[in-house]
Structure 1
Amino acid sequence: MVVINAVIGFLQEGKAEKALEGIRKMLSVSAHVRREGDWVEENAENLVPGDIVRLRSGDRVPADIRLLEAVSLSIEESALTGESLPAEKNQDPVEPDAGLGDRHGMAFSGTMVTAGRGTGVVTATGSETEIGRISTMISEVETLATPLTRQMDRFGKILSAVIVVMAVAMWFAGRMLHDYTTGELFLSSIGFAVAAIPEGLPAVLTITLALGVQRMASRNAITRKLNAVETLGSVTVICSDKTGTLTKNEMTVKHAVVRRAVYDVSGSGYQPEGHITLDGNPAALDGEEGLRDLVEIMAVCNDSHISQEDGFWKVTGEPTEGALRTFAAKAGFDPAAYERKAVIPFESENKFMATLNSTPDGKTVILVKGAPDRLLDRCGTQAADGGKKEPLDRRFWEAKIEELSGRGLRVLAAARKEADDGKNGLKHGDIEADLTFIGLAGIIDPPRPEAVEAVALCRTAGIGVKMITGDHAGTASAIGREMGIGNGGRTATGDELEKASDEELRELVREVDIFARTSPEHKLRLVRALQANGEVVAMTGDGVNDAPALKRADVGIAMGIKGTEATKEAADIVLADDNFSTIERAVEEGRTIYDNLRKAIIFILPTNGAEAFVILAAVAFGLVLPITPVQILWVNMVTAVTLALALAFEPAEPGVMKRPPRDPAASILGGNFLWRIAFVSLLVGGAAIGVFLFEKRIGMPLDLARTLAVNTLVFGQIFYLFNCRYLDESSISAGRLFANRAVWMTTGILLVLQLVFVYAPFMNTWFGSAPLLARHWLIPLSIGCAVFLAVEAEKALTRRWSGR
């Protein structure tokens, strides 16, 4: 066990370095930089502050850059900021204390240019960049010992002290009261140490955790650190990122608004499955003229494509446009017959896109989609029934925009304009006025339905769920309401966290469940504040900005599909399906594992206690040892390897997720269980001594009496194993007695081993055992039954006294 633990520890030492290596892989290897007046391609590591760098679509940003020019520039920063959508960039200044996601004039190292182009001056390289600071934070973050590790350390110290004190007391008792020789006392002390120390416990703990890892892997939770399996069971707070964990990280149209109606859109993500309904009834394009016009614009004035790859639907292009494509597919609209003649691409300065198209019926139209305020400024009319137009009711549309925005949706507007049939070009002047406003589309990154249910189950289990995201407060609040997080309470922002002292932050995390516009430092401070309040914290994340907090948390959980390599390496557990509901199932598994560990401890300690009591009583009363040290070692080995291991296969007890999390500061064994350990130790140990003394008195040979005492111990443990399968509840029912096949299999293996111990000549020589007669087996069998019934009676009395 020492060698195994040393090897595991050595391998774990390299994990932090791998987390930093994951960040290095994100960094750009080359850059377009201006040197001596010419644009050249240079290794990114050779950049220095002051260099002028050019960015184009598809480039990875090579350093932190202050933009001097930005043309329709969008950069994917979700790994750094947690935002769902690419950030639109410009060269406008921002406030000095603006959060990372609000610094529109900056491009950050390691992020990806998704559209447009830009030029900027390098402001930071290496460890001075935002991603470099995160790398430094990861290397500096201290990890905490797990609750099980702390409890087992404390338990081991107490047990060691008790054993040493009792061994010394036994030595002096033997010397003072019975004048044992030094050799006899030395042999007795060895026997007592072998009996009292639970040698099999480390192996049982390790194997139980390993089996838990295997079960969790089958439920899409890949465990990288063994102790994390158990720690999940003691989690009191789960801090979850929003994008991709609570939500699908796939933009989806949820509502479509035209002048006469508001339509609901079902389905989520880019999979074109769902329905468009009006007041719960299906809406078809043929009978809904306004809806058809809205769908037409959103699908035709669009540069994205959706496709299915390996069973998953993906978008090529902007996520928002992908959502509009899916919306059109759900409506049954095919834009293939529309011929594009000209286009004005989306630019951050204008915030709209326009296309000139010929329609299937031969008309020429200008279709426009973009920010609602920009389109309202260009519209004088709105669509009315029968294909007619009417004056624009701007107050109506602004009220609808405010309503959708208040629910955390991103709102896009659609407008159109008739054009001359011979028109082949498109200029900004063509869409400055006289557009007809058609309607709105409300888009959101929707919550995962299974995650909503998982959050509710966590609350039932007494586990708090907090959302920590880099996204905007409005979006976070809207998702929180749908998820059941925050109960409609206020949302704290990164600005508040920045200004709060450590004491104020500890109070804030008690009151607030949703935190928006957070930076990596904020996330790390929030985890520390929760831990300072005595919470056991699980932290989820997928971006590099989450890695320091994941490393600090009691359990760091990374996303396996969309998570960065740096995040996975910093985490204890990786979710293969990026799903919050998997965390809930992992917590359930963790609680079951902890229960099984306690069952194993409560089984092993009375086993050792009974053996130690036999030695202690023999020395105290001046008796011949009823069991020799080598026989005790045999009992320890076979019972730990067989009986105790069977408890690792126990299924979850009823209501495991309906009870509150255990107190991480509480002892692994409460007062009731300490009493049970003492009770069973005296019961089984006393029975073994009694059998030995009785058989010796009626003339049984010493080796035969010792063999009978050993089997009395073993049978007492076999029957006590069935008591331990349920810590508090009764085990007397056919369903419960036969629920775990592993118990019966290990019992059968142990009986075979005992038959070898009793009847094999070489075992008689090695262990001093002797063959028993058939009638002798009735004695340990009867005592085992009595032990089982006595412990069940003790459990019933304990339940009555505690009011259960």
Structure 2
Amino acid sequence: MTDSAVPTPSPFDTAAAPLPTSWHAMPHEEVAARLGVSLDGLSEDEARQRLAEHGPNALPEPPRPSPIRRFLAQFNSALIYFLLAGAAAAFALGHVVDAVVIIAVVMVNAVVGFLQEGRAEQALRAIRNMISPHAAVIRGRQRISVHARDLVPGDLVLLEAGDRVPADTRLLRARGMLIDESILTGESVAASKREEPAAADAALGDRHSMAFSGTTVAAGQGAGIVVSTGSHTEIGRIGRLIAEVEPLATPLLRQIDNFARRFTWAAILAAGALFVFAVAVRGYGWTEALIAVVALAVGVVPEGLPAVITITLAIGVRRMARLNAVIRRLPAVETLGATSVICSDKTGTLTRNEMTVRRVVLPETDATEAIEVSGAGYEPVGTLSWANSGDPSAAAEALARCGLLCNDAHLHARDGVWRAEGDPMEGALVAFAAKAGLSPAVERGDWRRLDEIPFDAAYRFMASLHRGPQEEIAVFVKGAPEAVLAMCALSASQRERWGEAIAGVAAEGERLLGFAMKTLDAAPDRLTFDNVAGGFSFLGLAGFIDPPRPEAIAAIAECRSAGIGVKMVTGDHGLTAGAIARQLGLAREPVVVTGAEVDAVSDAELVELAGRTSVFARTSPENKLRIVRALQSTGAVVAMTGDGVNDAPSLRQADVGIAMGVKGTEAAKEAAEVVLLDDNFASIVAAVTQGRTVYDNIRKMIAWTLPTNGGEVLSVIGAIAFGFTMPMSAAQILWINLATSITLGLALAFEPTEPGIMNRPPRRADGGLVTRFMLWRIVLVSVLFMLATAAMFTLSLARGQGIEMARTIVVNTIVVMEIFYLFSVRFMHMSSITWRGALGTPAVLAALVAVVAGQFAFTYLPPMQHMFGTRPVALLDGVMIVGVGVLLMLLLEAEKALVRRFRLFDPEDL
């Protein structure tokens, strides 16, 4: 660009002419003309005027609700209303301990919810912090440093390696410029930049004439014109998407809310009907009827359930942390277990994020006879093999030496892990040279580098000049195969053959480099383009791939057995993504759809397309958001992984957003519920297994709590209905609930994973918290508890033991039945009469000891006898009580076997 080539019209008026959006497709002269800027840069007065017009180069602060409103919003739940009403009733009737426990549970839940609010604001704040604080600009012919907030459209920005791009910039000059755009595109390799216009319909990752705000200059230098600032940049557009996404309630929270509403109305109607029946039919006095209703309320309210659910989720958080999955929001633990579709990024999650030379094609072979290279990552360990006779290492030596010498990367082993310092593909070439039998240190020492032409996107190759061990002079070249072939003396048939080889290797999704060399009679003073104009001997091609993680392949197979769909959503090219998908086993013939194809279909059409597609390639943030919503519209529970700013909107939209902890941006982590410490897909599947375990344990607690409470309630209702004496006092019911829920109920939170948990299909997202099987089990166990209670109470009275003794026997019978029922409910999908079932877990055994000790105190300690009106139980009565518990467990295990044997319920209802 020259001064004379840039007209200097008056500054544009954005009110009259909206900013164009295809800056990447315009010649830079047109860009400069539209923005009214020359190589002199803007004047200070013009910069101030434009700053007032466009505002600061920063993302706007979103409105925040007041802390009081956020805190009060935590109480807007039917379950909370029900618990508060129960607390008020308990206070009114003198049950202070019960009321305090309920209120404490409500307050803990409110505080946890309050602290977890505002994730959208945190994500936006993280994105705002990614904008560079200062920028080098040309203003009034002077190079100055200005705060990034003060940049305006039309500013001339200078960029160097290591700089963070401060605003969306149309490049005027790019010299060896590579920009890491992974936060926007997901590409693992830095994008090369050049100043000529890109195609108007180019995807974001192919806009080689643009530098985007928040990305990092990895190499080279350049200059450009700022075309968009603040919320008008690509990163700002993503910020607006995040703000527009409404957070979804998790399946568990939806189920608990539905259950609480129904449970509340059922309890109110039952209490009212019981009160009316007691007064109008049975002739109870108002006080007696009220006491009966209080006993019913105390028995029916599962006051410990919310706290135990919270503790269960917290235990899941701790277990998942050991599996390298950090949970930022408690309900996400359970939501992982409900996941039916995982949309995963490719680079670093399904793959190693380490380039590897996979195959080499030499002049004397074709693509079908390529040398195959084993090993993965940068570890210089592997072998070369091919179908031809002869030593493949010797055949590939010239190419390996070229790739090693025309190379600036180095390999280092740190803590047993090999890493590349420099370009990933150059690091892979160093590892390949070692596999081919060359010593990088020896070769680089013998072949001293005299000069080089660094890689530049304009000519797409790198060249280096060397003096060999025999004083020979050689020029080595590596780069895009087409560019390298153009330097070589080849016949038309040879060029056609290499063209076919290039197409064949590229079809496998591999990135390609070509290699060539030539010898010179004498070393020139400098290596110039004249030195590399032609006369090279073509050495061959190398195909690179970011290999799949072996554990990811196994994890995907496990997902398939668990009925969980896995879809790759990546910014990479379709061919590359499709090749990796086949190696991972996503599908036998994976369907690959590009972001442009997603843009071309309606939301309704995308639902069908998303369902049958295995790989989404070259996707934009809007594409990812639409894909997640399309899958959710079918009832799927979607987990979405991501690491870049471009992933933040879809992470927030997904039922479970999973951010990468190693290479993930802060914006992605703030928008997600889960952060992976090792960026490994296998850790996601392990977390899903734990999520299913957590939900299993919550269901076990509900299946244990509701029937035991139901047995107490039916006993009270039966006594009133038949005019019997109450078998328990309200205080005794309260004792049972408090003593067992914080011991036996809590023990279920620590249950390990049941065998075969990942062989079950995902549960329905719209399913209820109480399935048909659980409802049947609640009714059955409640009736059995009621019958046993009535039988023991009647038998005790018939033996003339008195009301106090009869009630003491009833309370102990219920507690013993709860203990045996606990051992039965520990295994919902298999028999509990096994050594594993009998031995229990440390938590179960500790709870058993605590409950037995509590019951002995309840029955035999004088202060407890005075408080609860109990009497000491004789040995024979104690044996009878334990016998009732054993009989209950045998009946329930028989019922469990019949259900499994005759498939009386659908699998998802179990």
Q: Is 1:343 aligned to 2:452, yes or no?
A: yes
> Take 1:632 and 1:398, find their aligned partners in 2: how far apart are those partners?
84
The corresponding residue for 1:787 is 888
Spell out, residue by residue over 1:413-448, the C-alpha distance to the aligned partner (whole angstroms, 9 max, x if none): 111101124544322112211110111111111111
Task: Give the one of 815, 820, 845 matched to 1:719.
Answer: 820
Q: Secondary structure at 2:170's aligned position in 1?
A: strand
* Structure 1 residue 364 displacement after superposition: 1.2
Task: Give the one of 421, 437, 440 matched to 1:332.
Answer: 437
Instruction: Name the aligned partner's letter for residue 408 of structure 2.
Output: D
The corresponding residue for 1:532 is 633
Matches within 5 A, 1:539-550: 539-550=640-651
The corresponding residue for 2:278 is 174
The corresponding residue for 1:246 is 350
Q: Is 1:646 aligned to 2:750, yes or no?
A: no
The corresponding residue for 1:315 is 420
Matches within 5 A, 1:445-460: 445-460=546-561
Is the Cα–Cα contact under 8 Å of residues 392 and 437 in structure 1 kept in the other structure?
A: no
Is the Cα–Cα contact under 8 Å of residues 379 and 392 in structure 1 kept in the other structure?
A: no
Task: Give the one of 802, 805, 808 matched to 1:704.
Answer: 805
Task: Give the one of 579, 589, 594 matched to 2:690.
Answer: 589
Is the Cα–Cα contact under 8 Å of residues 704 and 825 in structure 2 kept in the other structure?
A: yes
Spell out, residue by residue over 1:704-733, the C-alpha distance to the aligned partner (whole angstroms, 9 max, x if none): 211111001111111111110121422222
The corresponding residue for 2:375 is 267
Instruction: Name the aligned partner's letter for residue 381 of structure 2.
Output: E
* Structure 1 residue 798 displacement after superposition: 2.0
* Structure 1 residue 278 displacement after superposition: 2.9
TM-score normalised per structure 1:
0.96
Task: Give the one of 210, 215, 221 matched to 2:314.
Answer: 210
The corresponding residue for 2:461 is 352
> Take 2:314 and 2:660, find their aligned partners in 1: how far apart are those partners?
22
Instruction: Name the aligned partner's letter for residue 207 of structure 2.
Output: R
* Structure 1 residue 111 displacement after superposition: 0.3
Q: Is 1:664 aligned to 2:765, yes or no?
A: yes
The corresponding residue for 2:121 is 17
> Take 1:292 and 1:724, find their aligned partners in 2: how far apart are those partners?
66
Is the Cα–Cα contact under 8 Å of residues 381 and 434 in structure 1 kept in the other structure?
A: no
TM-score normalised per structure 2:
0.85
- Which sits farther off after the overlay, 661-670 or 544-553? 661-670
Matches within 5 A, 1:1-40: 1-40=105-144
> Take 2:293 and 2:200, find their aligned partners in 1: how far apart are those partners?
72
Instruction: Name the aligned partner's letter for residue 138 of structure 1.
Output: I
Decide whether aligned partners of structure 1 residues 653 and 422 sit closer, same or farther in structure 2, where only a CA change above 3 A counts: closer
> Take 1:30 and 1:735, find their aligned partners in 2: how far apart are those partners?
64
Instruction: Name the aligned partner's letter for residue 263 of structure 1.
Output: I
Is the Cα–Cα contact under 8 Å of residues 582 and 590 in structure 2 kept in the other structure?
A: no
Spell out, residue by residue over 1:122-167, the C-alpha distance to the aligned partner (whole angstroms, 9 max, x if none): 1111111111111222122111111111111111122222222211
Is the Cα–Cα contact under 8 Å of residues 334 and 692 in structure 2 kept in the other structure?
A: yes
- Which sits farther off after the overlay, 515-524 or 688-697? 688-697
Q: Secondary structure at 1:415's aligned position in 2?
A: strand
> Take 1:539 and 1:489, find their aligned partners in 2: how far apart are those partners?
19
Q: Secondary structure at 2:784's aligned position in 1?
A: helix
* Structure 1 residue 599 displacement after superposition: 1.0
* Structure 1 residue 630 displacement after superposition: 1.1
* Structure 1 residue 332 displacement after superposition: 3.5
* Structure 1 residue 282 displacement after superposition: 11
Q: Is 1:380 aligned to 2:484, yes or no?
A: no
Q: Is 1:729 aligned to 2:834, yes or no?
A: no
Instruction: Name the aligned partner's letter for residue 253 of structure 1.
Output: V
Matches within 5 A, 1:384-533: 393-533=494-634
- Which sits farther off after the overlay, 202-211 or 89-98? 89-98
Matched residues, number? 793
Task: Give the one of 526, 549, 561 matched to 2:662.
Answer: 561
Matches within 5 A, 1:593-604: 593-604=694-705
Q: Secondary structure at 2:704's aligned position in 1?
A: helix
> Take 2:388 and 2:566, find their aligned partners in 1: how far apart are those partners?
32
- Which sits farther off after the overlay, 373-382 or 275-284? 275-284
* Structure 1 residue 29 displacement after superposition: 0.8
The corresponding residue for 1:201 is 305
Instruction: Name the aligned partner's letter for residue 588 of structure 2.
Output: N
Instruction: Name the aligned partner's letter for residue 215 of structure 1.
Output: R
The corresponding residue for 2:44 is none
> Take 2:570 and 2:744, find their aligned partners in 1: how far apart are those partners?
47
> Take 1:626 and 1:736, find their aligned partners in 2: how far apart are those partners?
32
Task: Give the one of 252, 266, 278 matched to 2:386.
Answer: 278
> Take 2:554 and 2:121, find their aligned partners in 1: how far apart are those partners?
37
Task: Give the one of 770, 780, 787 matched to 2:871.
Answer: 770
Is the Cα–Cα contact under 8 Å of residues 823 and 837 in structure 2 kept in the other structure?
A: no
Spell out, residue by residue over 1:454-485, the C-alpha distance to the aligned partner (whole angstroms, 9 max, x if none): 11111111111111111111111111111122
Spell out, residue by residue over 1:258-293, the C-alpha distance to the aligned partner (whole angstroms, 9 max, x if none): 1235222222222223222334999574xx1x3110
* Structure 1 residue 800 displacement after superposition: 3.1
> Take 1:418 and 1:762, find their aligned partners in 2: how far apart are those partners?
102
Is the Cα–Cα contact under 8 Å of residues 379 and 435 in structure 1 kept in the other structure?
A: yes
* Structure 1 residue 672 displacement after superposition: 2.3
* Structure 1 residue 315 displacement after superposition: 2.2
> Take 2:388 and 2:163, find their aligned partners in 1: how far apart are those partners?
46
The corresponding residue for 1:388 is none
> Take 1:228 and 1:522, find their aligned partners in 2: how far apart are those partners?
24
Gaps of 5+ in 2: 1-104, 906-910
* Structure 1 residue 690 displacement after superposition: 2.0
Instruction: Name the aligned partner's letter for residue 599 of structure 1.
Output: K
> Take 2:862 and 2:231, find their aligned partners in 1: how far apart are those partners?
71
Spell out, residue by residue over 1:203-248, the C-alpha distance to the aligned partner (whole angstroms, 9 max, x if none): 2211111111111111111111111111111111000111111112
* Structure 1 residue 739 displacement after superposition: 4.7
Q: Where do 4+ consecutive residues of structure 1 move more than 6 Å?
A: none
Gaps of 5+ in 1: 383-390
Spell out, residue by residue over 1:472-528, the C-alpha distance to the aligned partner (whole angstroms, 9 max, x if none): 111111111111224324311111111211111111111212111111111011101
The corresponding residue for 1:570 is 671
* Structure 1 residue 803 displacement after superposition: 6.5
Spell out, residue by residue over 1:58-113, the C-alpha distance to the aligned partner (whole angstroms, 9 max, x if none): 11101000111212211110111111211111122233332211211111000011
Q: Secondary structure at 2:444's aligned position in 1?
A: helix
> Take 1:340 and 1:558, find their aligned partners in 2: how far apart are those partners?
43
> Take 2:679 and 2:389, find their aligned partners in 1: how far apart are those partners?
34
Q: Which one has more relative contact order, counting CA pairs under 8 Å at least 6 apart?
A: 1
Is the Cα–Cα contact under 8 Å of residues 363 and 538 in structure 2 kept in the other structure?
A: no
Matches within 5 A, 1:112-127: 112-127=216-231
Instruction: Name the aligned partner's letter for residue 174 of structure 1.
Output: A
The corresponding residue for 1:58 is 162
> Take 1:466 and 1:422, find their aligned partners in 2: how far apart are those partners?
54
- Which sits farther off after the overlay, 574-583 or 169-178? 169-178
> Take 1:52 and 1:356, find their aligned partners in 2: how far apart are those partners?
36
Instruction: Name the aligned partner's letter for residue 786 of structure 2.
Output: G
Is the Cα–Cα contact under 8 Å of residues 581 and 590 in structure 2 kept in the other structure?
A: no
Is the Cα–Cα contact under 8 Å of residues 276 and 282 in structure 1 kept in the other structure?
A: no
- Percent of residue pairs identical: 48
Is the Cα–Cα contact under 8 Å of residues 241 and 540 in structure 1 kept in the other structure?
A: yes
Q: Secondary structure at 1:65's aligned position in 2?
A: strand
Q: Secondary structure at 2:137's aligned position in 1?
A: strand
Decide whether aligned partners of structure 1 residues 575 and 422 sit closer, same or farther in structure 2, where only a CA change above 3 A counts: closer
Q: Secondary structure at 1:707's aligned position in 2?
A: helix
Instruction: Name the aligned partner's letter for residue 409 of structure 2.
Output: S
